Amino acid sequence: MSPMEQKSEVLHWKNFSQWAYAICVVTFDLELGQAMELVYPSHCELSERERANICYLAFPDSNSGLMGNVQFHFRIRMCPETRQNLIQKSSSNFNEKYPVSLKSVVLLSSLPFVSLFSHIMEIIAPEYFERGEASLEAACHDIDQWLPPLPGPLTLPLHGNLIKVRIPSRQDKMGNITQSFNTESVTATPSIVIPNPHDIPAFPILAPVLPYLNLLWELILIAEPVVVMATSPTTAANMVQTLVSLISPLKYCGDYRPFFTIHDSEFKEYTIRASAPPNVILGVTNPFFAKTLQHWPHIIRVCEEAGSGKAKLSKQKTLKVVEHKPGVYTKYKPYLQPDKNLVKRLLKGVQMGRPVEVQSALLRRHLLELTQSFIIPLERYAASLMPLQKNVSPYKSTPTLRPFNTEEFLSTLESSGPQLTSGIKGDWHSLYKCFFKTCNFSSWFNQRHQEMSKKLSVLHMQAICDANMKEWVGSKCEVEVVDMVLRLREKLRISENLDFSNDIAGKLQTQIELLISYLPEDVKSVIKKS
């Protein structure tokens, strides 16, 4: 394909590329092993390393004993950026002794919509196994007609189905996600309503480890290395994904691999014993990892067998039994006390036959309130770093934010700490100290710093727009006026780059023209040319 043809092809799939990068078909050959059979759209390029990683991750480990259709997701590094990659359906057909064929359909996307893509692949994969490549082409054309994945309700047609989903915004509150679909009329087309594109039901996944929920929440909050060991990639991937979401709405910023194998290109990086384990959460199924990763500080062993009971907490020095017994293996001592009332409430719900969706909602609500109780003091202190509006002068440079002082923040906890909004007791002071050393804190503060800096710029520009420049210019020399013009021009340039309102940009331009009108003709000419 020539560069011109490739450019045309990319433009043709513009809407599709906002949702996904490509759909791949991976085949397992008894003699040759895994091979990439198909990539659609055809213009999408994958490096040899990317192809190898996808091929190995497209199938469960050979010793897992899984048969039939399997669905799970994984993440890998891709160039030029990291894209989340979801393999949502792997179909296997067996005769009495040997598999006749083994294929996987893989959806590649940078969007973290695990729940949404799971439903999408439940539609796409069976169609492919029945109708072949033509069905993938039809699915991609359907996706190419979708509106962009922006916050708000969306209806997504796919293979004769209507997928109704609401992309949440930062302003959304729990419990309001499905309201947009309640009043829509019923149609003859089959509809699938997805309450949240990100989350999978939390309760069935966390039920075995409910007594240690606060412990796990702390481990994710402070970005500790965690490995999840299970017998199926579905269980491992779902547990890892749920762990990452424990601290929502705070973003987990460490690396995480819902399904990880010994063939992964980062295998040596993550399993070397020469240094401390990296800040990553791994989901594994190969028993080989029980020995390779037994030096990791936190291991969760999940058992899928019916009647296996809840996992137990083990703080023993050696973790050799982790291969066989389900449990949470760690020496970590939580700073916060567990919420026993939550566990009792959820166990009572099981006895009463409460729906899984309701149990999951109760669990999510508890985690949300716990995280918000932790974040609120940080938000309150961050807001105090802003200079007072009365100190924002239109005739001076934009004031800067005060630096984040951890000791100053910790001194505020006694009067305005998490105890004001949470009934959970414990050493919040020490937990914050650990949090300050993590990538989660750095990411949160960097984002808040950018938001507050932009707000400060808006306040400064507004002050300039409202300033009486006629009065100011009367007492200033020519050099000072020229300097102000140049500064306002820079402000105008910044306003364009930061997408400020046209109103602010227009007022800035008016102020600039006013100042120029007070300059001598020769200086005006130079200014206008510059």
H-helix segments, 185-244: 202-206, 213-221, 233-244
- DSSP string for residues in 314-367: E--S--GGGGTS-EEEE----SB---HHHHHHHHHHHHTT--HHHHHHHHHHHH
Residues 105-130: what's their mean pLDDT? 91
Burial of 98 from C-beta contacts in 10 A (0-12 / 13-18 / 19+): exposed
> Encoding tokens for residue 274?
């020469």
pLDDT above 80: residue 321: no
* Torsion over CA: 66, 70, 72, 78 (sign): positive
Instruction: Report how far apart the first and last C-alpha atoms of the chain are (Å, whole number).
Output: 45
Q: What is the pLDDT of residue 88?
A: 46
Give the DSSP letter of residue 45.
Answer: -
Domain locations along the chain: 15-145, 201-450, 468-529
pTM: 0.85
Give the pLDDT band (50/70/90) at residue 418. Answer: very high
What is the percentage of the chain residues whose pLDDT exceeds 70?
83
- The C-alpha angle with vertex 386 and arms to 380 and 390, in degrees rounded to 5, equals 125
- The C-alpha angle with vertex 110 and arms to 109 and 113, in degrees rounded to 5, equals 75
d(CA 116, CA 144): 16
- Are 194 and 110 a contacting pair, CB within 8 Å? no
Q: What is the pLDDT of residue 134?
A: 93
- Phi/psi at 78 (nearest 5 deg)? -135, 150
Tokens 């066989």 — which residue? 324
Q: Which among 465, 470, 528 is positioned nearest to 492, based on CA atoms?
A: 465
Instruction: Please tell me whether the peptide bond between 80 and the residue prior to it is cis, using omega within 30 degrees of 0.
Output: yes
pLDDT digits (tens, 9 = 90+) for 49-83: 889 889 889 888 755 556 667 889 999 887 655 44
d(CA 307, CA 346): 18
Q: Is 496 helix (H, G, I), strand (E, B) or coil?
A: helix
Residues 284-306: what's their mean pLDDT? 85
d(CA 511, CA 517): 10
Q: What is the pLDDT of residue 406?
A: 95
Give the pLDDT band (50/70/90) at residue 358. Answer: very high
- Phi/psi at 273 (nearest 5 deg)? -95, -5
pLDDT above 60: residue 43: yes
- The C-alpha angle with vertex 25 and arms to 22 and 27, in degrees rounded to 5, equals 155
pLDDT above 90: residue 153: yes
Q: What is the pLDDT of residue 498?
A: 66
d(CA 36, CA 523): 67
Give the pLDDT band (50/70/90) at residue 305. Answer: low
Q: What is the pLDDT of residue 457?
A: 86
- Are 167 and 150 a contacting pair, CB within 8 Å? yes
Q: What is the pLDDT of residue 427?
A: 95
pLDDT above 80: residue 100: no
Q: At what angle do helices 502-517 and 478-497 cross, to 10 degrees?
A: 160
pLDDT above 70: residue 380: yes
Q: What is the pLDDT of residue 272?
A: 81
Q: Which residues contact 420 (CB under 8 A, 6 or more apart)?
A: 376
Q: What is the pLDDT of residue 178?
A: 41
Q: What is the pLDDT of residue 19?
A: 94
pLDDT above 90: residue 42: no
> Is the CATH number 3.40.50.11500 carried by domain 201-450?
yes
pLDDT digits (tens, 9 = 90+) for 229-263: 998 999 999 999 999 999 999 999 999 999 999 88
pLDDT digits (tens, 9 = 90+) for 426-481: 999 999 999 999 999 999 999 999 999 988 888 888 888 888 888 888 888 888 88
Q: What is the pLDDT of residue 247?
A: 96
Q: What is the pLDDT of residue 62?
A: 57
Distances in whole angstroms, Cα of residue 522 to Cα of each of 434, 475, 476, 479, 516: 62, 21, 18, 13, 11
Residues 205-221: what's their mean pLDDT? 94
Residues 12-30: what's their mean pLDDT? 88
> Encoding tokens for residue 21?
């990068």
Q: Is 508 helix (H, G, I), strand (E, B) or coil?
A: helix
Report the number of secondary-structure helices (H) and strands (E) in the chain.
Answer: 20, 14
pLDDT above 80: residue 314: no
Helix (H) or strand (E) holding 94: strand 83-94
d(CA 286, CA 57): 12
> Encoding tokens for residue 86?
């979801």
Q: What is the pLDDT of residue 95?
A: 35
Q: At what angle do helices 213-221 and 233-244 cross, to 10 degrees?
A: 70
Q: What is the pLDDT of residue 169?
A: 81
Range picked from 98-112, 176-190, 279-293 for highest mean pLDDT: 279-293
Q: What is the pLDDT of residue 412?
A: 94
- Are 229 and 284 a contacting pair, CB within 8 Å? yes
pLDDT above 70: residue 14: yes
Q: What is the pLDDT of residue 277?
A: 87
Residues 191-217: what's their mean pLDDT? 89
d(CA 330, CA 399): 47
**Arithmetic mean of pLDDT over the chain:** 84
Residues 186-207: what's their mean pLDDT? 80
The maximal CA–CA distance of the chain, rounded, in angstroms, is: 96
Residues 271-279: what's their mean pLDDT? 81
pLDDT above 50: residue 322: no
Give the pLDDT band (50/70/90) at residue 337. Answer: very high
Q: Which residues contact 381 (CB under 8 A, 6 or more apart)?
A: 404, 408, 409, 412
d(CA 136, CA 140): 6
